[in-house]
Structure 1
Amino acid sequence: MDRLIYSSLAAMRGAMSRQATIGNNLANVNTAGFRGEVTHAQAMWLSGKGLDTRATVSGEVSGADMSAGAVMATNRSLDVAVDGDAMLTVQAADGSEAYTRRGDLQMSDSGLLTTGDGKVVMGEGGPITLPPYDSLSIGKDGTVSIVPVGGKAQDVQVVDRLKLVSPKGSQIAKGLDGLFHEISGGTLPADPDAKVTGGSLEGSNVNASSALIDMIDASRSWETQVKMLSTAQELDKSAADLMRLPD
């Protein structure tokens, strides 16, 4: 009987993990450059003095859907859509390099160039700091240029070049911070051939309709396991009644 209970509990844990992932994907359906997360269920056998006959489930985010999202023209000078499979380099909370497709860039109060969620954008010379400017443009190769305050249109100054990297030949994984990291803890080299499209923004690649269908499916899976637990309880009660001695 306990095998049936363990099986149901394991399935319920898997359904919970799946629901959490789907919920996060739906919450980011309008987040620029977001890559939908994918969960992976793995059996974890409970070891003891006897045979390993019981297993639970480890449900965790194992990767992300790397398909491209729709690109929309915004005509905003700080918006960039990264072409191909290249990524922008940003600074993670611990100071290490991380990677994202989010191109809704902003200028902080201190002049730092950041993503829409506040991550500092890295250039080939380190964090990019923008001086006061009248106009700004980002070239196809990621070069950030400005016309200083009071300057003439031809007085263009190059600030830095976005550090664009390609994950080809390397292993990256999506962390809890929503950023991609090199699995071994290293950094990816700059890709001189990577390109961006200025004045455009790549949207999330999450399909809201498919995500809702997956959520309904996970909910029904949960309900099925709850019914199985109720069945196990009824079977246990019936067995106990059979073993009861008559008065």
Structure 2
Amino acid sequence: MIYTALSSMNAAMDRQRMVANNLANASTPGFRREVFAVTAATLRDGGIEARAIARGTVRGADMAQARVNPTGQALDIAVGGEALIAFQDPAGGELYSRRGDLRVAPSGVLENGEGLAVLGEGGAAITVPPGLAVQIASDGNVLARDPAAPAEEPQVLARIKLVSPEGSRLAKGIDSFLKVPGGGVLPADPTASVTSGALEQSNVETAATLIEMIDAQRAFEQRAKIIQTAGQLDEAGARLFSMT
């Protein structure tokens, strides 16, 4: 009984961590709510299968679209449909997110608010030559022009790698980013589009998440009470044996 309750307590703690992470990112642009799942694993030892342990894991992310708010910032983009923006993973490979609060770093690299470099369709980080004004077209092309020559046509530096997750398996890591398991990458989606001067908000519902946190805390307390009850039963049994 104690072992079963302890496994449930661990699952409840993991759920609380997930809920806390969702709540902490309720105002993070493009954040996708994490989804938690608990499964029961029955212990089979040839006897009665009465013991089961709980296994709780982050199953994935809720990809439902959130509200898009205009910001008026030229480098802010909101991705249309189900598309994702490809970023450079500091550990190697690619990360995917819908966070589109972009900026040009002092090094000239186009990055988002978390400092992740935006990838072009060629797989390399997009860089902007110094002194140029940058804007992003609806098809994801990064355009740059010389502020001293406003009459000149802007030059295309690169097209942001926009990918479609449809039909592909994605996993959400503890860093809150989506990845292809095994280090794979998603192909660019030429039909994807963006809205400039706007940001998609997080799809976390604050009120519902607070209720979920209370439920997770109560579940933890209930399992702790089971362990306490098991201890009381053990003590009562010991007293009975001492009387015989």
Could you say whether these structures have the same fold, taking a TM-score greater than 0.5 normalized by the shorter chain as the test?
Answer: yes
Hey, what does 1:29 align to over in structure 2? 26
Q: Match for residue 168 of structure 2?
A: 170
Deviation at 1:133, TM superposition (A): 3.8
Residue in 1 that maps onto 2:183: 185
Q: Describe the superposition over 1:52-103 as per-residue Cα deviations: whole angstroms up to 9, x where unpaired.
A: 7644333221101110111000010110000000010111122202211110
- The separation in 1 between residues aligned to 2:242 and 2:53, in whole angstroms, is 33
What percentage of aligned pairs have identical amino acids? 45
SS of aligned partner of 1:239? helix
Question: Does structure 1 residue 108 correspond to structure 2 residue 95?
Answer: no
Unaligned runs of 5+ in 1: none
Pairing partner for 1:144 from 123, 130, 142: 142
- Per the TM alignment, residue 151 of structure 1 is displaced from its structure 2 partner at its CA by 2.3
Alignment correspondent of 1:222: 220
SS in 1 for 2:167: coil
- CA deviation vs aligned residue, 1:169-216 (integer Å, no higher than 9, x gap): 211111222221122432111111000000000010000100000011
Once residues 152 and 219 of structure 1 are traced to their aligned partners in structure 2, the CA distance between those partners, rounded to angstroms, is 59
In the other structure, the counterpart of 1:12 is: 9
Q: Which sits farther off after the overlay, 157-166 or 175-184?
A: 175-184
Q: Which moved more, 1:38-47 or 1:217-226?
A: 38-47
Verify the 8 A CA contact 2:8 2:55 in the aligned structure 1. no
**1:140-184 deviations in Å (ceiling 9; x for gaps):** 100111112422243411111111110112111112222211224
1:68 matched to 2:68: no
Deviation by residue 1:16-50 (Cα, 9 ceiling, x = unmatched): 11100000000101111000111222334567798
Q: Secondary structure at the match of 2:158?
A: strand
Q: Is the 1:144–1:158 contact (alpha carbons within 8 Å) kept by the matching residues of 2? A: yes
Please give the secondary structure, in 2, of the residue aligned with 1:225: helix
**Which range is displaced more, 118-127 or 180-189?**
180-189
The 1:79–1:201 alpha-carbon spacing in structure 2 relative to 1, beyond 3 Å, is same
For 2:174 and 2:227, locate their aligned partners in 1 and report how far apart those are by CA, in whole Å.
32
Q: Would the aligned equivalents of 1:133 and 1:146 in 2 still touch at CA under 8 Å?
A: no
Instruction: Between 217-226 and 67-76, report the one with greater CA deviation.
Output: 217-226
- 1:154 partner SS: coil
Specify the SS of the correspondent of 1:176.
Answer: coil
Deviations 1:203-239 (A, max 9, x none): 1000010000001111111111122222111111111
Deviates more, 1:167-176 or 1:16-25: 167-176
Distance 2:188 2:114 in 1: 23
Structure 2 residue aligned with 1:41 = 38
CA contact (8 A) 2:7 2:54 kept: yes
**Contact 1:134–1:150 under 8 Å retained in 2:** no
SS in structure 2 of the partner of residue 39 of structure 1:
strand
Gaps of 5+ in 2: none
- Classify the secondary structure of the residue corresponding to 1:244: helix
The answer to whether the Cα contact below 8 Å between 1:132 and 1:149 also exists between their aligned partners in 2 is: no
1:132 to partner: Cα distance:
2.4
Contact 2:111-2:118 within 8 A present in 1 as well: yes
TM-score normalised to structure 1 length: 0.91
Residue 120 of structure 1 is matched in structure 2 by: 117
Corresponding position: 1:59 with 2:26: no
Q: Which amino acid aligns with 2:222?
A: T
Q: CA RMSD in A?
A: 2.0
> TM-score under structure 2 normalisation?
0.92
Deviation at 1:11, TM superposition (A): 1.6
Any idea what SS the aligned residue of 1:214 has? Answer: helix
- 2:9 partner SS: helix
